Structure 1
Amino acid sequence: MSEPEMDGAAATAVVDSMVRGTQATMDLHAVNQQGVLVRVRSLLPEFTGALRRVAEQVLTDPAAASRATIVELAERSGTSPATVTRFCRALGFDGYADLRLGIAAETGRARSAGWTVDIGREIQPSDPLERVLGQIMAADTRAMHDTAELLDLAEVERAAVAIAAAPRVNIFGASGSALVGEEMQFSLHRIGVPAWAWTDVHNGLASAALSRPGDVALGISHSGETGETIELLAEASSRGATTIALTSFPRSPLAELADITLVTATQATTFRPDALSARHPQLVVLDLLYVAVAQRTHERSHAAFQRTAQAVHGHKAAKDGSTT
């Protein structure tokens, strides 16, 4: 037997709230453009109970979901057809037929793209490295494609314009996100953008407190729930800085706080949970942002590249092994 579902009024209230948020930002065409499975993954943390079981069933075997009737999907997820209908509404679809068509189109694109490795399969300790490499490559490739579908290029444009004009850019992140932030700081520094990456909370807060209108603060967190990063971004925001969030969850506390949100997708594997698998998509988005900033500061960036290249030239080894 399936677990008891929430009563009708409570379920309707939850779904109506999610539908209002969904329909405020996208219509059915936009859902299809973004990718149904990407949308399901991004909303998964917000689903509870029966709705979450439907979402997990769709993500576990999307090809089967695209062929199943509404009754079959309800049985496989241990729910009811009414719950599946509410799930469709939460994604912005009018009914189950539209959901099936969206999933079928996406799984068809995946097959035609040559994603033959089952990235949902568990990587076993005894798997040969060839198999492990295939799993990682498939997961990263899918994450890149999903990120490209999720990413709002208008938001990237806004972020690039803000950074290009900023007197100061503060970058905040913890753990793996800190490494990604340092990479961005290095890239911006090479084109003459005054940027600092902070991993220590005290130093970061001191820098955030000195922010002024026109400055930019970039917070990086896969979950969007890292307390230190949220605190740092909030402090910079309170001083008038333009705030940017890079996260996999567009409704997370960090995203809600930010003026601009850049969203990434992930594909976890057994030995690389979401937080680790998020790193490559994060780097792709930040690389795009960096190039967009360089485009908008072309003359300054070109001059900076020439000066920095000349400065370090004497420390490069010559082809014959000697130094110049």
Structure 2
Amino acid sequence: MIEREADSTATAVVDASPADGVLLRVRAGLPEFTGALQRVAEQVLADPAGAARATIVELAERSGTSPATITRFCRALGFDGYADLRLGIAAETGRARSAGWTFDIGREIQPTDPLDRVLGQIMAADTRAMHDTAALLDLAEVERAAEAIAAATRVDIFGASGSALVGEEMQFSLHRIGVAAWAWTDVHNGLASAALLRTGDVALGVSHSGATRETIEMLAEAGSRGATTIALTSFPRSPLAELADIILLTAAQATTFRPDALSARHPQLVVLDLLYIAVAQRTHDRAHASFQRTAQAVDGHKTAKGAA
């Protein structure tokens, strides 16, 4: 059934250059879109080739919206109409099929480049992202988050895909200093756990885009139960950030050889390392005792491994 309702973000314009690729502009605007426009963006990103072949009515049906919404979506991206959007997507998907290495990895790294040059490219991108994150991060927010976690009875950490790996690293670190923490990647299990949180508990949602629906749902459920909510994201106006009590921002150095979400991984880990240390400082006695006990617990295995 096609949706006929107006979209509140119809006047939104993506902050991207017209010279940027169409799909890059759609991806850049995804955190800003809401409602029907967001569903159109998700459909285009999920099947660009299909969108390039579809009529305006077909794309509206696939995204559960209306032709009028598709037109608003085109204008939000800077296109005069749907025909221009289709042509742009068709040209880009055609280049993707034929460009091979250059499209997937980019001109920054060539197949014949020596590893020292490849390493330099990767290090340069990560270093810039780290410096940008340090400049962007609000340390007062980190302190608020650390205070909340240090006083919490339990901490739930939510994330999906690559963000899930980052969340699991934080769970391991907190657990080692005696903080009762769980990392949830499955939305059903995460929602069930979030429903049991209460005032004094903490929920941390990790999402580069801040638009991952499952993470948003889990953090929202935790917040509705009274838990203090923390968002780790690169987009301060994203849906995840808007529902969080505390926002920790990261910067990702965009490259052609690594998706944005992976570019954000190292800055995310740096911010969570800082948060972890801040929590350990505020729970020094407990953290120190936990370090000793956990080290003793695994010491026999380290010795056996070394002897082998």
**Is TM more than 0.5 here?**
yes
Inter-partner Cα distance in structure 2 for 1:320 and 1:210: 43
Residue 217 of structure 1, CA deviation: 0.3
Flag structure 1 segments of 5+ consecutive residues without an equivalent: 1-13, 15-45, 57-119
Inter-partner Cα distance in structure 2 for 1:233 and 1:264: 18
Q: What is residue 233 of structure 1 aligned with on the other side?
A: 219
- Give the residue type in structure 2 aligned to 1:172: F
Residues 127/269 of structure 1: CA separation in 2 closer, same or farther (3 Å cut)? farther
Q: 1:147 aligns with which of 122, 128, 133?
A: 133
**1:1-324 pair list within 5 angstroms:** 48=14, 52-53=16-17, 122-317=108-303, 321=307
Residue 320 of structure 1, CA deviation: 6.6
Residue 314 of structure 1, CA deviation: 1.2
SS at match of 1:217: strand
Residue 129 of structure 1, CA deviation: 1.8
SS at match of 2:236: coil
SS at match of 1:275: helix
Among the aligned pairs, what percent are the same residue? Answer: 84
Residue 317 of structure 1, CA deviation: 2.5
RMSD: 2.0
Q: What is residue 76 of structure 1 aligned with on the other side?
A: none
SS at match of 2:307: coil
Would the aligned equivalents of 1:172 and 1:220 in 2 still touch at CA under 8 Å? yes
Inter-partner Cα distance in structure 1 for 2:221 and 2:263: 29
Aligned length: 213
Residues 320/137 of structure 1: CA separation in 2 closer, same or farther (3 Å cut)? closer
Inter-partner Cα distance in structure 1 for 2:225 and 2:214: 17
Residue 123 of structure 1, CA deviation: 2.2
Inter-partner Cα distance in structure 1 for 2:144 and 2:288: 22
Inter-partner Cα distance in structure 1 for 2:282 and 2:128: 30
Would the aligned equivalents of 2:231 and 2:241 in 1 still touch at CA under 8 Å? yes
Residue 218 of structure 1, CA deviation: 0.2
SS at match of 1:219: strand
Residue 165 of structure 1, CA deviation: 0.3
- Give the residue type in structure 2 aligned to 1:180: V
Inter-partner Cα distance in structure 2 for 1:190 and 1:52: 43
Would the aligned equivalents of 1:230 and 1:253 in 2 still touch at CA under 8 Å? yes
Inter-partner Cα distance in structure 2 for 1:265 and 1:47: 22
TM-score of the two chains, using structure 2 as the length reference: 0.66
Residue 127 of structure 1, CA deviation: 2.4
Residue 121 of structure 1, CA deviation: 5.8
Inter-partner Cα distance in structure 2 for 1:305 and 1:142: 33
Would the aligned equivalents of 2:251 and 2:267 in 1 still touch at CA under 8 Å? yes
Inter-partner Cα distance in structure 1 for 2:290 and 2:181: 14
Residue 270 of structure 1, CA deviation: 2.1
- Give the residue type in structure 2 aligned to 1:52: A
Inter-partner Cα distance in structure 1 for 2:306 and 2:222: 50
Inter-partner Cα distance in structure 1 for 2:247 and 2:19: 24
Inter-partner Cα distance in structure 2 for 1:312 and 1:233: 34
Residue 128 of structure 1, CA deviation: 2.3
